[in-house]
């Protein structure tokens, strides 16, 4: 890991940020090999966790409408809401690149609307690039944004903001015509200047064709292993979404189950007066845990109330 700038308040070295040119250069055909690993995040704590784990980029996705707000689609999410979550993620992130997702109708009406919305995501939310859904029909908007210095990640295939037009969250590009249209979409947005393209919910062979056809990295979700990188909604990855598990999701942990178990233990300990113990209380003698700990720390619980970590 390279270290360049110095932390403003601490004087400690801060890892340098992953930039758009670095992400773009990770195209597999460019010979750099290492795939891009991306996740979504919506708050500072999760961002810190993912940043520390070494993800390349964090998307503040409009999926927040489903996993944070409990909705059935991403359509109601507003620009102000994405900005709010983006700001929190930016506070928790030192190294990963931060992408702000452009919500439904924040960019479709005109290039000017798109520029203003993207500008707010970057100025107020701390996003370093933006993502929008669309293919050939949105290419001119992307071109204008890129000319104005706004890095754009495109998103083709299954576009969740078009859930009603698609008749549900369904795999796209199964027919020959459908596959050709998605390939054309990917080519159009890449030629318009998108620095990467999310390819969602398409057959794996089509995602591989797209990856071979365009010069910028493809980021797959539900699109097989043939992309230049992958993204997952973090609540799916961590097993926090207990209500459904689509085929393309792999749960790398079962955090929802672990959370229920931990909370059950808390409830039991509160009811049995086991929690809080003396070590969690003020003004009570604390039993020494072992001679070394006793030598190193006072025999009484500290009087401070502040952060313990
Ligand atoms: O909103 C989102 O989280 C996304 C990813 C699933 C790509 O668009």
Using the atom order of ligand 1, give the atom closest to the CA of residue 40. 3
Centre of ligand 1 from the C-alpha of residue 234, in Å: 10
The half-sphere exposure of 186 on its side-chain side, counting CA atoms within 13 A, is 31
- Tell me: the pLDDT tens digits for 94-116? 999 999 999 999 999 999 999 99
Residue 50, pLDDT score: 98
Whether 19 is covered by a domain: the verdict is yes
Does residue 233 fall inside a structural domain? Answer: yes
Does residue 57 form part of some domain? yes
What are the CA-CA distances from residue 121 to residues 25, 139, 174, 200 (Å)?
24, 20, 34, 23
Read off the pLDDT band of 286 (50, 70, 90).
Answer: confident
Q: According to the model, what pLDDT value does residue 4 have?
A: 40
* Residues 180 and 263 placed together within one structural domain of the fold: no
Do 162 and 286 lie in one domain? The reply is: no
Q: Does residue 194 contact residue 164 with C-beta atoms inside 8 Å? A: no
Number of domains observed in the structure of the chain: 2
Q: Which atom of ligand 1 is nearest to the CA of 59?
A: 3
Is 260 a residue whose pLDDT tops 60?
yes
pLDDT band, residue 244 (cuts 50/70/90):
confident
Long-range contacts of residues 33-39, Cβ cutoff 8 Å, at least 24 apart: 35/227, 35/228, 35/229, 35/230, 36/196, 36/217, 36/219, 36/228, 36/229, 36/230, 37/229, 37/230, 38/219, 38/229, 38/230, 38/231, 39/231, 39/232, 39/233, 39/234, 39/237
User: Within this chain, do residues 261 and 178 fall inside the same structural domain, yes or no?
Assistant: no
Residues 97 and 56 in one domain: yes
CA of 261 from ligand 1 middle (Å) equals 29
Ligand 1 midpoint to CA 265 (Å): 34
| CA 3 to ligand 1 center in whole angstroms | 30
For residues 165 and 268, state if they share a domain: no
* Residue 263 shares a structural domain with residue 145: no
Selecting among 200, 254, 261, 269, the annotated active-site residue is 200
Domain-ending residue, one of 237, 271, 287: 237
Structural domain including 157 reads: 3-237
d(CA 34, CA 26): 7
The residue with tokens 């926090």 is 240
Say how many Å lie between the CA of residue 162 and the centre of ligand 1.
13
| Ligand 1 within 6 A of CB of 142 | no
Q: Are residues 173 and 265 in the same domain?
A: no
**Per-residue confidence (pLDDT) for residue 5, from 0 to 100:** 39
Given a cut of 70, is residue 127 above it in pLDDT? yes
Q: In terms of domains, do 283 and 142 share one? A: no
Q: At what angle do helices 176-191 and 204-213 cross, to 10 degrees?
A: 30
pLDDT at residue 154, as a whole number: 98
Kindly indicate the confidence band of residue 235, based on its pLDDT and cuts at 50, 70 and 90.
very high
- Cα distance between residue 75 and residue 161, in whole Å: 6
Residue nearest to atom 6 of ligand 1 (CA): 233
pLDDT at 159: 98
Q: Helical H runs in 107-203?
A: 111-123, 139-147, 163-166, 176-191
Can you tell me the distance from the alpha carbon of 273 to that of 12, in angstroms, rounded to the nearest whole number?
A: 43
Q: Does residue 308 have a pLDDT over 70?
A: no
With the most atoms of ligand 1 within 8 angstroms of its CB, the residue from 38, 57, 59, 163 to mutate is 59
| Atom number in ligand 1 closest to CA 131 | 8
Residue 304 lies in a domain: no
Instruction: Say what percent of the chain tops pLDDT 90.
Output: 83
Q: Has residue 28 been placed in a domain?
A: yes
The pLDDT of residue 73 is 97
Statement to judge: residues 149 and 267 lie in one domain: no
Kindly state if the Cβ of 101 falls inside 6 Å of ligand 1.
yes
Q: Whose CA is nearest to atom 8 of ligand 1?
A: 61
Is residue 243 assigned to a domain? no
Q: Which of 62, 78, 121, 172 to mutate to test the pocket of ligand 1 (most atoms within 8 A of CB)?
A: 62
| pLDDT classification of 13: cutoffs 50, 70, 90 | low
265 plus 178 within the same structural domain: no
User: In whole angstroms, what is the distance from residue 114 CA to residue 125 CA?
Assistant: 15
Do 9 and 117 reside in the same domain of the chain? Answer: yes
23 domain residue, yes or no: yes
Residue 204: pLDDT band (50, 70, 90) is: very high
CATH code (residue 215): 3.20.20.60
Asked if the model's pLDDT at residue 148 lies above 90, the reply is: yes
**236: Cβ below 6 Å to ligand 1?**
no
In tens, the pLDDT along 167-189 reads: 999 999 999 999 999 999 999 99
Active site residue 200: yes
Examine the domain organization and report whether 206 and 271 are in the same domain. no
Report pLDDT digits (tens) over 131-140: 999 999 999 9
User: Where does the chain show beta strands of DSSP type E?
Assistant: 3-6, 13-15, 36-40, 57-60, 97-101, 129-133, 152-157, 196-200, 218-221, 229-232
> Does 233 sit in the ligand 1 pocket, CB within 6 Å?
yes
């Amino acid at each position: 890991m390279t270290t360049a700038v110095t932390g403003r308040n601490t004087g400690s070295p801060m890892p340098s940020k992953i930039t758009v040119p670095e992400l773009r250069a990770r195209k597999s055909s460019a010979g750099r090999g290492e795939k891009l690993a991306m996740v979504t995040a919506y708050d500072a704590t999760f961002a810190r966790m993912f940043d520390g784990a070494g993800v390349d980029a964090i998307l503040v996705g409009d999926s927040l409408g489903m996993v944070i707000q409990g909705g059935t689609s991403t359509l109601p999410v507003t620009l102000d809401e994405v900005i709010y979550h983006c700001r929190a993620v930016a506070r928790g992130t030192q190294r990963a690149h931060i992408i702000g997702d452009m919500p439904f109708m924040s960019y479709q009406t005109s290039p000017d609307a798109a520029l203003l919305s993207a500008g707010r995501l970057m100025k107020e939310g701390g996003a370093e690039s933006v993502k929008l859904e669309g293919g050939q029909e949105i290419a001119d908007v992307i071109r204008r944004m890129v000319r104005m210095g706004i890095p754009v990640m495109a998103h083709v295939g299954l576009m969740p903001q078009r859930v009603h037009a698609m008749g549900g969250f369904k795999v796209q590009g199964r027919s020959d015509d459908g596959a050709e249209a998605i390939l054309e979409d990917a080519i159009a947005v890449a030629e318009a200047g998108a620095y990467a393209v999310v390819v969602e919910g398409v057959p794996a062979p089509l995602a591989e064709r797209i990856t071979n056809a365009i010069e910028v990295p493809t980021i797959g979700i539900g699109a097989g292993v043939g992309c230049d990188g992958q993204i997952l909604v973090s609540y799916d990855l961590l097993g926090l979404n207990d209500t459904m598990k689509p085929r393309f999701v792999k749960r790398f942990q079962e955090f929802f189950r672990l959370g229920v178990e931990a909370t059950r233990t808390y409830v039991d300990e509160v009811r049995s007066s086991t929690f809080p113990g003396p070590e969690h209380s003020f003004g009570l003698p604390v039993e020494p845990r072992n001679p070394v700990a006793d030598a190193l720390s006072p025999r009484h619980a500290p009087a401070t109330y502040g952060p313990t970590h």
